[in-house]
């Protein structure tokens, strides 16, 4: 089953939006298979955002993501990678559609509340970067027949 990695950034945790953000993925019907609150190390932050290493905003991004607690999550479900990106909305909250997390709850590109893997291969890399295999729980919700034919 497809999995994605999501992280509620320090702004989301500080603003008390952890429950609101998790609710949106639960309500959609995806399955939570990994969850932890952590202070992100410099090493993890730099590795996670490795593709942006040469961008002018890289240092600020690493400073921000290491500035306070982050909620790391793995969610599972049919098409979860692309669907989670839609639920999250565009990178810049000012351009993100209402109804999306960033569109409803954010204003600034550097404070856009949540990270979501952008492709299935990226998700695999990010899940194994943030979680050990034994930290993930494989389970099938009893409501599965209500969600899938």
Footprint on this chain of ligand DAT (rule: CB under 6 A)? 52, 57, 61, 91, 109-110, 112, 115, 118
Residue 48 Cβ, how far from Mg ion at the closest point, in Å? 10
Give DSSP secondary structure letters for 18-77: HHHHHHHHHHHT-EEEEEEEEPPPHHHHHHHTGGGTTSTTHHHHHHHHTSS-EEEEEEES
In the complex, residue closest to Mg ion by CB: 118
Residue 59 Cβ, how far from ligand DAT at the closest point, in Å? 11
Residue 61 Cβ, how far from ligand DAT at the closest point, in Å? 5
Helix (H, G, I), strand (E, B) or coil at 6: strand
> Is 115 in the active site?
yes
Nearer to Mg ion, 20 or 118 (CB): 118
Give DSSP secondary structure letters for 76-119: ESTTHHHHHHHHH--SSTTTSPBTBHHHHH---GGG--EEE-SS
What residue 47 binds from ligand DAT, Mg ion, none (CB within 5 to 8 A, per partner kind)? Answer: none
Choice among 48, 52, 115, 148 that is catalytic: 115
Cite the active site residues. Answer: 115
Residue ranges in contact with Mg ion by CB under 5 A = 118
């Amino acid at each position: 089953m497809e999995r994605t990695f999501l992280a509620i950034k320090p702004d989301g945790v500080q603003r008390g939006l952890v429950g609101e953000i998790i609710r949106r993925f639960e309500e959609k019907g995806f399955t939570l298979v990994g969850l932890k609150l952590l202070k992100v190390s410099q090493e993890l932050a730099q590795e996670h955002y490795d593709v942006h290493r040469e961008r002018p905003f890289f240092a600020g991004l690493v400073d921000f993501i290491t500035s306070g607690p982050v909620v790391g999550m793995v969610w599972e479900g049919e098409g979860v990678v692309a669907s989670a990106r839609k639920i999250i909305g565009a990178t810049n909250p000012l351009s993100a559609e209402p109804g999306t997390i960033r569109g409803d709850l954010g204003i600034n590109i550097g404070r856009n509340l949540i990270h979501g893997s952008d492709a299935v291969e990226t998700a695999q890399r990010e899940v194994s970067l943030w979680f050990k295999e034994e930290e993930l729980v494989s389970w099938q919700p009893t409501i599965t027949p209500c969600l899938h034919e």
